[in-house]
């Protein structure tokens, strides 16, 4: 091995430069180490792929394949009672949605429900987060657990709980509240009462949004509040001029997640009926699929709802630069 040759004494500040042979010898010494790291990284990659294989199989079988199948079915006249008579009809189902008044009404009802529910969910979760972020509150861990606990319960169970609570004949509301206090019995949900019932279901599971807001509040620098107090800002002014702008990314995330929940809805098939979740449009898709037996048309309705939800999300992100504050962007 040739030693490193000094390149001259032109200047005291000039650094030395290794020769070609010294570079080659150095690379030969480092090469086995690189092989060991590459082999280790390959082994880690294989182990990681093995660990996520159950999730990948479930994703392919129960998510990706049904999604692609529904897209293919949306271009056919597939009827569940006559699967052998399926025919390719192109975009006829999608053009039929434009002439379907019931689809337009259910979509309008879903949009109105989202306009009411999403701000209400964010306001309630933010209000609870502000209360539990206060230093004067005792037992914060218990309150956090109680607020988040209903979100762990599956949606189908929540529906059964509320139906059992509000049942006019055997409901807990009449037995435990109305009858002991001598109040009039609850006679059931009307048209407006069912809307209130859906809002209660939406507010029942605000636990994830509450934790998002609470985590965002924990990240607000205390120096900003101290500067606001020095300048004479009260609690309301600090809320609107400091807290809300700083946690605006969390608010944006909550808006998108709550919109997906509203448009996604939930269906429980039991006893020959549908227990409707949060979306009237979902209920209409259920009726088209299982009552009218038009699976192809129902699949096209589902894809239209997906496209509308994606368009709404893109619009929200497009306007985010006007009301969302990102510290790294100044």
Among 290, 264, 288, 258, which Cα is nearest to 278's? 264
70 φ/ψ sector (left φ>0, alpha ψ -120 to 50, else beta)? alpha
Provide the β-strand partners of residue 274: 269
272 pLDDT higher than 50: no
* Domain boundaries of the chain, sorted by first residue: 100-153+205-329, 156-191
Among 82, 195, 206, 116, which Cα is nearest to 152's? 206
Distance CA 259, CA 199 (A): 14
pLDDT of residue 330: 58
What count of other Cβ atoms lies within 10 Å of the Cβ of residue 171? Answer: 19
Which CATH fold would you assign to the domain 100-153+205-329? MetI-like fold (1.10.3720)
User: Using one digit for the tens of pLDDT, what is the confidence trace for 81-108?
Assistant: 888 888 999 999 999 999 999 999 988 9
325 DSSP 8-state letter: -
pLDDT of residue 281: 85
User: Using one digit for the tens of pLDDT, what is the confidence trace for 30-54?
Assistant: 444 444 556 778 888 888 889 999 9
Q: Which residue, chain included where needed, has tokens 């790291």?
A: 37
78-to-9, 23, 57, 287 alpha-carbon distances in Å: 86, 70, 27, 15
11-to-7, 15, 211 alpha-carbon distances in Å: 11, 9, 63
Whole-model pTM above 0.75? Answer: no
User: Using one digit for the tens of pLDDT, what is the confidence trace for 59-68?
Assistant: 999 989 999 9
Characterize 273-290 residue by residue with b for buried, 16 or more Cβ atoms within 10 angstroms of its Cβ, and e for exposed.
Answer: ebbbbbbbbbbbbbebbb
Residues 173/166, Cβ–Cβ less than 8 Å = yes
């Amino acid at each position: 091995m040739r030693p490193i040759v000094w390149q001259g004494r032109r200047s005291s500040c000039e650094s030395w430069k290794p020769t070609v042979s010294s570079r080659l010898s150095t690379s030969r010494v480092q090469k086995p180490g690189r092989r060991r790291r590459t082999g280790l990284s390959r082994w880690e990659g294989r182990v990681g792929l093995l660990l996520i294989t159950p999730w990948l199989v479930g994703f392919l079988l129960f998510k990706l394949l049904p999604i692609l199948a529904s897209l293919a079915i949306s271009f056919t006249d597939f009827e569940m009672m006559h699967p052998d008579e399926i025919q390719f009809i192109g975009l006829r189902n999608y053009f039929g949605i434009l002439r379907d008044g019931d689809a337009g009404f259910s979509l309008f009802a879903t949009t109105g429900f989202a306009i009411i529910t999403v701000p209400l969910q964010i306001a309630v979760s933010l209000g609870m987060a502000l209360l539990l972020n206060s230093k004067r509150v005792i037992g914060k861990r218990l309150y956090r657990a109680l607020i988040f606990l209903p979100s762990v319960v599956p949606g189908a169970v929540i529906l059964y709980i509320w139906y059992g609570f509000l049942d006019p004949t055997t409901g807990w509301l009449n037995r435990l509240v109305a009858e002991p206090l001598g109040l009039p019995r609850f006679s059931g949900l009307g048209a407006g009462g069912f809307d209130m019932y859906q809002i209660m279901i939406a507010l029942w599971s605000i636990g994830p949004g509450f934790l998002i807001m609470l985590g965002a509040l924990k990240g607000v620098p205390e120096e900003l509040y101290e500067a606001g107090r020095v300048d004479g800002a009260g609690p309301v002014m600090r809320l609107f001029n400091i807290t809300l702008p700083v946690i605006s990314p969390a608010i944006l995330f909550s808006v998108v997640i709550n919109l997906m929940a509203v448009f996604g809805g939930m269906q429980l098939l039991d006893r020959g009926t549908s227990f409707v979740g949060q979306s009237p449009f979902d209920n209409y898709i259920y009726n088209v699929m299982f009552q009218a037996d038009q699976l192809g048309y129902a699949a096209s309705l589902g894809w239209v709802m997906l496209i509308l939800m994606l368009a709404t999300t893109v619009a929200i992100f497009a306007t985010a630069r006007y009301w969302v504050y990102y510290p790294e962007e100044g």
